[in-house]
Amino acid sequence: MTVHQDDIEKLAELARLRIAPEAVAEVTDRIATILGLVDQLQSVDTAAVEPMANPLDAVQRLRSDAVTEDNRRDAFQAIAPAVENGLYLVPKVID
């Protein structure tokens, strides 16, 4: 894919990026190099490669899905300044 300096200038404008005029040529070369690497990666045949979630075959240790604490909602709401129908009432902060 060919990248031109005017493409980079337009993208910078759309992305609200400021690129110094003397740096546009360097940025264009860098982006062209990156896009070349992407094209090289896309040309690799991966049809026989099985997708994986982790390259290290790591297994995540999971905790059991069990309740470990008592329901203390009533105790917490008893000390709250304002409660109604099980909900905490707070002052309005936005008009």
Report the alpha-carbon distance of residue 3 to residue 24 in Å, rounded: 11
Q: Could you list the residue range(s) of the whole structural domain that residue 30 is in? A: 5-42
pLDDT in tens, 2-22: 889 999 999 999 999 999 999
User: Which pTM was predicted?
Assistant: 0.50
The CA-based diameter of the chain, rounded to the nearest angstrom, is 68
Q: Is the dihedral of CA 38, 42, 48, 50 positive or negative?
A: positive
Q: What number of other Cβ atoms are within 10 A of residue 8's Cβ?
A: 22
For residue 17, tell me if it sits in a domain. yes
For residue 22, tell me if it sits in a domain. yes
Helix (H) or strand (E) segment spanning residue 79 = none
Q: Flag whether pLDDT at 35 surpasses 90.
A: yes
- Read off the pLDDT band of 60 (50, 70, 90): confident
Question: Phi and psi of 51, rounded to 5°?
Answer: -65, 150
Q: Name the CA dihedral angle for 73, 86, 88, 66, rounded to a multiple of 10 degrees.
A: 40
Overall number of domains in the chain: 1
Locate 83 and state its tokens: 């409660």
